[in-house]
Structure 1
């Protein structure tokens, strides 16, 4: 009898809650699926069951409405994007979402929220050394149509080497692994593919980080790469903690100089430092690697783009055996336009970073949103807005060769905007110029076309695992002259 009473009470509570959310909740007046108004599990369904399909669902909803309840409020309005991210100082991060990224280090969130000092001088010579190494590997090992390489993997290996060197003053040497099969790359890929389990079920990651490794690998063998990556980073951090003089002897300042010697605060715990390392390596390798991968594809696909780049680089860089500096490369107008277009296509983050409306938040996109509401907008909708970028799915560097690019640049946000812009912005731009400049000037790459080669890096060909994952890839080889 008591069980029946409890069951009836539970059903009555859910019924009343459903009626309230559908008809009386402050957000009930906004358009969206009925199921999204009823439960927060709507997003979990598209993120997990539909395999990172939430942004695709946003596209469907925004064909009907500029604003969609899902159950957070998602906008498709450039003014709203800037109200939330560029000027949104009264909005805070959604802790329910971001805490999942630091689930094993509660006392200090990772770099999503940690405020680090501005980056020190970009170690250009370090980047150039690693680019030289990649070019040598490509020329030696992938010089025919029978020996091709995925540029997505090659670029990720390069950017991972750069960011680990910048973090620890010691590279992870990912480029040395045969076919770039280093555990860090495998771990990053596996980690991102499990990102929505981590967000919606934080205890899942708590289990994988605390349970015996043999048990984890027996239950989840695909986590082997992630665990190896974490163990490798932990060894590097342990070495720095136990031998602090290492940092005083390195050639350039690193991020861990600041993390291990914080000013006016207690040094983070080992768990927090590992969390920082995981986040920095992931963030520091992805956006640049993805942009390089996409840009190279379009440079090879469209001869007109490739010829313009080659002509500009050949004239500015007559002796390709002598390095060309970042400051010289960034003065090249067509290369700059090309990099901006590659960043527009590559998106940066694909998932809308959630923000919580505060009591003093002004209008968002012309609307007064109730305090406490979670709001967001995927940069995909900003980068493919036809009012700012006509024919947005056409890769066209020439759109940036105009007298006034201020409106275009305002809506280019691969590193986010405002106070929470990516901390490694300067390093990223240096990498982009040096990588593209060297690849396009010093190598003659050719696409290896198969039925599995991607046709176009349209945003709708991507899968939302927080960062974009592409359903197809392409392979290349070096054509020796």
Structure 2
């Protein structure tokens, strides 16, 4: 007599059969089946999630071990390869590259802007319009505007020293980098986050929570945008109460929109100071196309995000290691004592001078090496027809990544890679290290704000070290451990006690 199974049991059997068949396909018949890697990684993204979604780990920390075992190309998920080979990296990110950005990694709040344009040919003219406003010359011309934000930041150190109060520098660096990039973009006072007591801006706190969540979002690249659209239907009060990260991104988006709209309506800034959006408000050449307001707002949102946490974390990294390395600190301070003769002057020394200081430059370089920017997987797509990397043919359409973390912490290139060692950038073979330095990525899609970031790093570090002694306060090595949450996020904050540097008579 035949046995009739209930519908629920049939459904379970069907799901199990599907998963088994899919696993068999992925291991044996999938286009990437020939590439080595953990079998579990080939079968399911759960292998990746096991590392990324736990608070103590990140998947990229496993890559060195996987490459040592399996070679330069490793299958890290069912549909994605990771390549650890500098020649392959240079091929993927070269000028004129045919490797487009992968849509799953570029599907966020800035989706309408140039950053999320997948094809280089679409992004290039858009980016080229902005490029002159981030050039070295443009940064130099607008240094007074940048300096005003940094001097305001330094005044907070003075106050903390006078009152013997600790400072949360992780939040302080985020506040100053946010105010610098927004002031620079819009030629105004920016978001004025430096005015918030103890740097505890609700906006920055919410954004920190957003990055903690962002790793989860990568596992549902199609579902998360849909969910975000549904959550946008909540009232502003409901968002602030239940989803503060969404409320924060909405606030930033709206502020960006208002500021860009004002610039476009006025044909530039109110006092004539150049703004980034002069690219469209008063272009120097005729253009057949101008982004719409939504697209320009998305660009402003991206400029703010890219220019805030990444630079702030580099400053945090440099400061933490200088605090814990007296020899490095004193060597840097001695160099700055000669270059910054009047540290209290209202006129700050130009970055054109500071960047010529060998040890300061080495400290900045080493901090960028250890902090990176985006440390992990920002996938590219192998062009149609496939490609040969590391002597292996890779099918067209394959998602392929090459994480910055692997190169910056490669012990064969950077001995003792977890040790903060500015001296490595002063050694006779230092020029060779540049080929493995990719804190700002490389090629035509590299960070457009590199010159602004360097200006902030040089000025903040130079004047902070020249004028103040810092001591860690309730901060441990564990607090400074980090995760890959698209950007680097530390497990705790850097808190310090501040004293004025005693000047020699």
TM-score band, normalised by the shorter chain?
Answer: 0.7 to 0.9
RCO greater where, 1 or 2, for CA within 8 Å and sep 6 or more? 1
Deviations 1:31-55 (A, max 9, x none): 2233322235654564446687222
Contact 1:187-1:229 within 8 A present in 2 as well: no
Q: Work out which of the residue numbers 137, 154, 163 in structure 2 matches 1:135.
A: 154
- Secondary structure, counterpart of 1:463 in structure 2: strand
Distance 1:111 1:177, change over 3 A: farther
Instruction: Give me the CA root mean square deviation.
Output: 2.9
Q: CA 1:102–1:211 in 2, change beyond 3 Å: closer, same or farther?
A: farther
Q: Could you tell me the TM-score, scaled by structure 2's length? A: 0.84
Mark the CA change 1:22 to 1:140 in structure 2 (over 3 Å): closer, same or farther.
Answer: same
Unaligned runs of 5+ in 1: none
Retained in 2: the 8 A contact 1:197–1:204? no
TM normalised by structure 1 equals 0.88
In structure 2, relative to structure 1, the CA distance for the partners of 1:149 and 1:218 (3 Å cut) is closer
Alpha-carbon spacing, 1:79–1:299, altered in 2? closer, same or farther (3 Å): same
Aligned partner of residue 477 in structure 1, secondary structure: strand
* Secondary structure class of the residue paired with 1:447: strand
Alpha-carbon distance in 1 for matches of 2:99, 2:360:
36
Structure-to-structure mapping, 1:42-61, within 5 angstroms: 42-43=47-48, 46-48=51-53, 53-61=58-66
Quick check: 382-391 or 36-45, which moved more?
36-45
Alpha-carbon shift at residue 109 of structure 1 (Å): 5.0
Q: What CA distance in whole angstroms lies between the structure 2 residues aligned with 1:437 and 1:469?
A: 24
Tell me what 2:76 maps to: 70
* Cα distance between partner residues in 1 of 2:94 and 2:13: 48
Cα distance 1:24–1:255, how it changes in 2: closer, same or farther (>3 A)?
same
- Identify which of 195, 208, 230 aligns with 1:189: 208
Matching of residue 244 in structure 1 with residue 263 in structure 2: no
Correspondent of 2:398 among 342, 351, 373: 373
Matches of 2:476 and 2:110 in 1, distance apart? 36
1:425 maps onto 2:415 in alignment:
no
**How far did residue 74 of structure 1 move?**
1.4
In structure 2, relative to structure 1, the CA distance for the partners of 1:282 and 1:331 (3 Å cut) is: same
**Counterparts of 2:342 and 2:236, CA distance in 1:** 52
2:278 match: 257
Alpha-carbon offset, residue 275 of structure 1? 2.1
Structural mapping, 1:199-238, within 5 Å: 199=218, 200=220, 201-217=224-240, 219-221=242-244, 223-238=246-261
Mapped to 2, the partners of 1:88 and 1:341 lie a distance apart of 29
Listed as ranges, the matches of 1:11-410 within 5 Å are: 14-40=19-45, 42-43=47-48, 46-48=51-53, 53-66=58-71, 67-71=73-77, 72-86=80-94, 89-102=97-110, 105=112, 108=113, 110=115, 114=123, 115-116=126-127, 117=129, 118-120=131-133, 121-122=138-139, 123-143=142-162, 147-170=165-188, 171-199=190-218, 200=220, 201-217=224-240, 219-221=242-244, 223-241=246-264, 243-245=265-267, 247-260=268-281, 264-322=287-345, 323-359=348-384, 362-410=387-435
Deviation at 1:383, TM superposition (A): 0.4
Offset at residue 87 of structure 1 (A):
6.1
SS of residue matched to 1:19? helix
Query: How far does the alpha carbon of each residue in 1:282-321 deviate from its partner, in whole angstroms, 9 at most, with x for none?
Result: 1011222111111112122111111111111111222223
User: CA, structure 1 residues 464+17, in 2 after alignment: closer, same or farther (shift >3 Å)?
Assistant: same
Range moving further from structure 2, 32-41 or 372-381: 32-41
- The Cα shift of 1:142 comes to 4.3
- Alpha-carbon spacing, 1:264–1:98, altered in 2? closer, same or farther (3 Å): same
Alignment of 1:464-479 (within 5 A): 464-479=484-499
Task: Assess, with a 3 A threshold, how the Cα gap between structure 1 residues 97 and 317 changes in structure 2: closer, same or farther.
Answer: closer
